[in-house]
Structure 1
Amino acid sequence: MVNQLPATLHYIYDPMCGWCYGAAPLVQAAAQLPGLTLQLHGGGMFAGSARRPVTPELQAYVAPHDRRIAALSGQPFGSAYTEGLLKDLGAVLDSGPPITAILAAQQLGGAQQGLAMLGRIQQAHYVQGRRVAEAEVLQTLALAQGLEAEAFATAFQALSGPATLAHLAASRQLMQAARVQGFPNLVLERADGRLQSLELSRFHGQPAPWADYLRGTLQADVTPA
């Protein structure tokens, strides 16, 4: 008999990252494993000065990547997104407000609520083609998740601006410490503080083999009881 040492799985993501959407089933599978604490770290790919309006050039760049993500992961991209949002020249891609909403959900209900909010934001963006940078849309998603309206609005307001920027800065520091770039990234932190970047790309669309790989990784440091 062996004891599995406790570990933390750091998920470095961006809600506007298509590959993060493709990896969503893998992250959900990881979140179900016992003995593993999940922590979410928003990256801010399109936050602040990096926010981007939708343009024909952006659509032309994003579309082939989305098709590849769909083919590898099986994640659906709805026509409201491909033929709607990506052609809506009044829309803006801004990671900041969605990350704030995820932080608010997490504050109200822990990492699982934060992960659930990320999933709702991804579905709203990539399937329903909604403008998820708008506070009204995020409030609607929070209500659909079962979060209390006033509590979410209060948390969202408190976490907007400087608090979200501080979170993004901390995420970048973690990426430097783990020596990883881009999104998504999953970094396993052992009980002794060691950081290990986990391979994701070869498991797209394969949550069960991914879970087996992660279990094996978690058991690498077990000792006899």
Structure 2
Amino acid sequence: MILHYIFDPLCGWCYAAAPLVEVARSIPGLEVRFHAGGMMTGSNRRPITPEWRAHVMPHDLRIAKLTGQVFGDAYLDGLLNDLGAVMDSEPPTTAILAAEALGGRGLDMLARLQRAHYIEGRRIADPAVLTDMAVDIGMNPQAFTAFFGNVSGEATRYHISASRNLLEQVGGKGFPTFVLEYGRQRETLSIGSWLGQPDTWREYLLERVETAQD
């Protein structure tokens, strides 16, 4: 059984779902495949502005209340007031692809980038920050930089395009979208009831995997 995870590294609701991804990765017999959809790429890149802060703050507060996910002061009072920062999904997506190519560590990189952004208030579109994050998860910086170069540009944009095509195929409404695939069937899951409920989510996945194996 495969759980497809369609996400963006700068998506607040994907951060809300991070504990669910962590649980899914621990389920025997379930493979988690990630698909980064490029929410803030090209013309959709955004600079930090007071208007942007006002837009995201209510969502962040709702996520924190619903799930217990932490939003650090360095993010709330630092990054969201950093008018020189640009929200660009492409560099962190490239970093995730590089980590996957280098050692199957794409989802580990995503988790580290989410902490860097939402807790530490780091600029995760900055190549230097991305290299720091690679080192934090145990990667050689020179090797990571080489792989980052290999999958940047066209390769990253191809991945984003394929992810968006999958999102459309499964009828997903945005990020995050979870899709269970078993045999020739795909089922798009509505995860709202599981946000903040990782134990219930674990029980559900274990039951689905067990049923599929019968």
TM range (shorter): over 0.9
Q: What secondary structure sits across from 1:195 in the alignment?
A: strand
Q: Residue 103 of structure 1: which of 79, 93, 97 is its match?
A: 97
Matched, 1:35 2:29: yes
Q: Residue 151 of structure 2: which of 127, 145, 159 is its match?
A: 159
Equivalent position of 2:73 in the other structure: 79
Question: 1:202-221 counterparts in 2 under 5 A?
Answer: 202-221=193-212
Q: 1:45 Cα deviation (Å)?
A: 0.5
Equivalent position of 1:187 in the other structure: 179
Q: Deviations over 1:167-212 (max 9, x none)?
A: 001001111221112111111111x221111221111121111111
Q: Distance in 1 between matches of 2:16 and 2:212?
A: 30
Q: Distance in 2 between matches of 1:162 and 1:144?
A: 27
Q: Which shows bigger deviation, 129-138 or 174-183? A: 174-183
TM-score, normalising length from structure 2? 0.97
Q: Distance in 2 between matches of 1:58 and 1:139?
A: 27
**Number of paired residues?**
214
Structure 2: 5+ residue runs without aligned partners?
none
Matched, 1:133 2:122: no
Matched, 1:201 2:192: yes
Question: 1:59-70 counterparts in 2 under 5 A?
Answer: 59-70=53-64
Would you identify which runs of 4 or more consecutive aligned residues in structure 1 move more than 6 Å?
none
What is the CA RMSD across the aligned residues, in angstroms? 1.0
Q: 1:30 Cα deviation (Å)?
A: 0.5
Equivalent position of 2:18 in the other structure: 24
Equivalent position of 1:47 in the other structure: 41
Q: What is the aligned-residue identity percentage?
A: 51
Matched, 1:117 2:91: no
| Aligned-partner residue type, residue 146 of structure 2 | T
Q: What secondary structure sits across from 2:156 in the alignment?
A: helix
Matched, 1:178 2:170: yes
| Aligned-partner residue type, residue 143 of structure 2 | A
TM-score, normalising length from structure 1? 0.93
Q: Distance in 2 between matches of 1:166 and 1:76?
A: 32
Q: 1:122 Cα deviation (Å)?
A: 0.4
Q: Distance in 2 between matches of 1:109 and 1:222?
A: 29
Q: Which shows bigger deviation, 198-207 or 83-92? A: 198-207
Choose 1 or 2 for highest CA Rg. Answer: 1
